[in-house]
């Protein structure tokens, strides 16, 4: 067949195949346009799962009469005008393809009233790129887009749609994602003339957390902590669920880059690595996080539906996310209230340094509330093992032991530490303590396991990783690319206790390994590390393998069940928990302690009724 120019309506339908996958895709594109127009309230009306009708109304700036037909034309947009605008785009939409693509596969009515106009105007589309003159209509300031009979002229696409309930489920999830990206905008969703979601605008952090609870559930709002940190031109803020609040599926993970919801492999890997040391196997973390950076450093035009982005400095972003989240989780101590702002101390804060000077950072999106930082509880500094070494020795009668001043309860209630003071031991397994809020129950083996594990990791870091030469070097056949990366990152392997040499274009030899990993499958480990370096620019596999061995050592070296502890020993355990990172979970991800408030105990006994 000869080469020919495609008709405009066919071009639009081909583009619609990329943009309009299902009714939820239409809702996404129209909501993005409404947010870009400066709307503060958006109404969404759905009929029959969006197949029969989708109507979205907003109170944004509106479209002038003379631009209505242009808005339904391909590649017409008010958001970019040059390549420079595209490279630093800060709006959600920018291609000018959404409205014409939707109009090509539906019966569309576009109604709008500009802020400076005295009346509204309406324009109709029926799948063809031919529009009549706009007609006057009664309309408030803003825009309404009415999409009826989706895929009426492409029946093959209509056959791929699911049931009404399933399609509306996708629409509802899309609205929730958009609502989390803009707390200052109100959303109302109706299905078959029945209201299913109503979210009021949030003017402060309290209102934002109320919306978090409405969308993600009250359990997440109660068992999450707020963080806000910026460095090297990057800012990360939002809510991360406690490790004990994990999910069997990754269904409560919302990540936004400059206000745009994305699912990116680099981001997912960084978050998963940050949680790896505290999550139970097979579980997934929950979070609502926002990353802000200069728009010039991220390419939002990397995917047809803009669900993926490409970072100019991917390794910088990955390291920033991992180190920030890793430290934020580690800094959660007993006594920190869920939802309280988490500040990362300057001496341990991640400070990634970009390989070249960054352009000036703009602020594409900021929360509408001011963050109030809370100072962390100051605990006395004491050598960890010195206070707890008696747990490794036979029990000594209290009368014969030198009194421990730090474990003696104080009379002043203001001085009561977060985990309080021990009052009893239950069945040789649990420590019962009294604090200002009520009763604290501690799993002593799980708690001591985490304390010992963190101590072993710290000792290994301070003493450096010991390397052990191999009597017989191990040869390793790899690809040329892997060999190049091994040669480029030789210092990285050396710092981790490995000695790698390149023998040929596609051959490596392992001459030394970390002492802890001498019995491990070092050949597979090196291959996995090289794969991580190629994909993500960094790897934590060696550290993770070492940590697994240290975790096993900590488990076997921790105090066992039915071990009777004296009151000073139990108090020493509580004080160490308050100082130890990640002390809320054991090495296997199980909780180490729980709190019962006086109100909860009163309810058990029906007091006050």
Query: Which residues are bridge partners to 57 per DSSP?
Result: 43, 144
Asked whether residue 141 falls in the same domain as residue 244, the answer is: no
pLDDT given for residue 395 in this prediction: 37
Question: Does 599 share its domain with 482?
Answer: yes
Distance CA 598, CA 194 (A): 42
**On the CB side of 132, how many CA atoms lie within 13 Å of its CA?**
11
Whether residue 347 is contained in a domain is answered as no
pLDDT value, residue 76: 82
- Let me know the angle formed at the C-alpha of 294 by 291 and 297, rounded to the nearest 5 degrees: 95
Residues counted in the chain: 609
Among 267, 315, 264, 321, which residue's Cα sits nearest to residue 492?
Answer: 315
At 191 the pLDDT is: 96
Q: Which tokens in the block code for residue 26? A: 């239409």
Residues ≥6 apart with Cβ < 8 Å to 29: 19, 20, 93, 98, 99, 101, 102
Q: What is the DSSP string of 36-75?
A: HTT-SEEEEEEEGGGTSEEEEEE-SS---GGGHHHHTSTT
> Domain of 551: which CATH number?
3.30.1370.100
For residue 251, the domain's CATH number is 3.30.230.10
How far is the C-alpha of 329 from the C-alpha of 272, rounded, in Å?
12
Domain that holds residue 177: 8-199
Q: What is the pLDDT of residues 327-346, one digit of tens each?
A: 888 888 776 654 444 444 33
Please calculate the CA angle 371-373-379 and round it to the nearest 5 degrees. Answer: 165
- 3 state SS of 488: helix
Q: Coil, strand, or helix at residue 257?
A: strand
pTM above 0.75, yes or no: no
Please tell me whether residues 223 and 188 are part of one structural domain.
Answer: no
Q: Phi, psi at residue 229, to the nearest 5°?
A: -150, 145
348 occurs within a structural domain? no
* Residue 69 Cα to chain centre, angstroms: 40
Which parts of the chain have pLDDT scores under 70? Answer: 15-17, 127-130, 335-414, 463-465, 536, 538, 541-543, 553, 556-557, 561, 609
User: In angstroms, rounded to a whole number, what is the distance separating the alpha carbons of residues 20 and 5?
Assistant: 23
CA 183 to chain CA mean position, Å: 17
Q: Which residue, of 175, 199, 223, is where some domain finishes?
A: 199
Residues 143 and 216 in one domain: no
pLDDT at 385: 41
Task: Tell me if 579 is assigned to some domain.
Answer: yes
Determine the Cα–Cα distance for residues 114 and 146; give it in Å rounded to an integer: 18
Residue 414 is predicted with a pLDDT of 62
Name the nearest CA neighbour of 62 among 113, 108, 109. 113
């Amino acid at each position: 067949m000869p080469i020919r120019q495609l008709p405009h309506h066919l071009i639009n339908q081909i583009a619609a195949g990329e943009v309009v996958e299902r009714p939820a895709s239409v809702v996404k594109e129209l909501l993005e346009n409404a947010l870009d127009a400066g709307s503060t309230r958006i109404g969404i009306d759905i009929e029959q799962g969006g197949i029969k009708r989708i109507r979205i109304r907003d109170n944004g700036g509106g479209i002038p009469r003379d631009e209505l037909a242009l808005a339904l034309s391909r590649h017409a947009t008010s958001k970019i005008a040059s390549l420079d605008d595209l490279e630093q785009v800060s709006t959600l939409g920018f291609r000018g393809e959404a409205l014409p693509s939707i109009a090509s596969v539906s019966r569309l009515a576009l109604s709008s009233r500009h802020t400076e106009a005295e009346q509204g105007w309406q324009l109709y589309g029926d799948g063809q790129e031919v529009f009549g003159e706009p007609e006057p209509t009664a309309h408030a300031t803003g825009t309404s887009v009415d999409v009826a009979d989706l895929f009426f002229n492409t029946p093959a696409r209509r056959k791929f749609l699911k049931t009404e309930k399933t399609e509306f489920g996708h629409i509802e999830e899309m609205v929730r994602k958009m609502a989390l990206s803009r707390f200052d905008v109100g959303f109302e969703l109706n299905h078959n003339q029945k209201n299913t979601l109503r979210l009021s605008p949030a003017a402060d952090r309290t209102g934002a957390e109320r919306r978090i609870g409405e969308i993600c559930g009250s359990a997440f709002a109660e068992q999450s902590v707020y963080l806000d940190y910026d460095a090297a031109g990057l800012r990360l803020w939002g809510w991360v669920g406690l490790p004990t609040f994990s999910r069997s599926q990754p269904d409560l993970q919302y990540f936004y880059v400059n206000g745009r919801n994305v699912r990116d492999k680099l981001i997912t890997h960084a978050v998963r690595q940050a949680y790896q040391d505290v999550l139970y196997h097979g579980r997934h973390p929950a979070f609502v996080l926002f990353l802000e950076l200069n728009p010039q450093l991220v390419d939002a035009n990397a995917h047809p539906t803009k669900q993926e982005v490409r970072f100019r400095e991917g390794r910088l972003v990955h390291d920033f996310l991992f180190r920030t989240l890793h430290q934020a989780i580690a800094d959660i101590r007993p006594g920190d209230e869920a939802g309280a702002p988490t500040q990362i101390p300057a001496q341990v804060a991640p400070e990634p340094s970009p390989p070249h000077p960054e352009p000036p950072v703009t602020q594409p999106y900021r929360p509408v509330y001011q963050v109030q930082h809370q100072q962390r509880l100051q605990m006395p500094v004491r050598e960890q093992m010195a206070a707890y070494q008696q747990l490794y020795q036979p029990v000594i009668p209290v009368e014969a032991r030198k009194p421990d001043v730090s474990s003696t309860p104080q009379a002043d209630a203001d001085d009561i530490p977060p985990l309080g003071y021990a009052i009893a031991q239950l069945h040789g397994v649990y420590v019962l303590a009294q604090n200002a809020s009520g009763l604290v129950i501690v799993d002593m083996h799980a708690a001591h396991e985490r304390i010992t594990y963190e101590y072993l990791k710290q000792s290994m870091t301070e003493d450096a990783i010991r390397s052990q030469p191999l009597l017989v070097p191990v040869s390793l056949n790899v690809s040329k690319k892997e060999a190049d990366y091994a040669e480029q990152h030789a210092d990285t392997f050396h710092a981790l206790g490995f000695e790698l040499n390149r023998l040929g274009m596609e051959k490596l030899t392992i001459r030394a390994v970390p002492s802890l990993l001498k019995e491990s499958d070092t050949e597979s480990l090196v291959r996995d590390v090289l794969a991580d370096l190629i994909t993500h620019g960094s790897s934590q596999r060696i550290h993770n393998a070492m940590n697994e061995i240290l975790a096993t050592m900590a488990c076997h070296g921790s105090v066992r069940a039915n071990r009777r502890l004296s009151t000073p020993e139990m108090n020493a355990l509580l004080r160490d928990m308050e100082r130890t990172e990640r002390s809320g979970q054991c090495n296997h991800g199980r909780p180490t302690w729980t709190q019962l408030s006086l109100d909860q105990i009163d309810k058990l006994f029906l007091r006050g009724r």
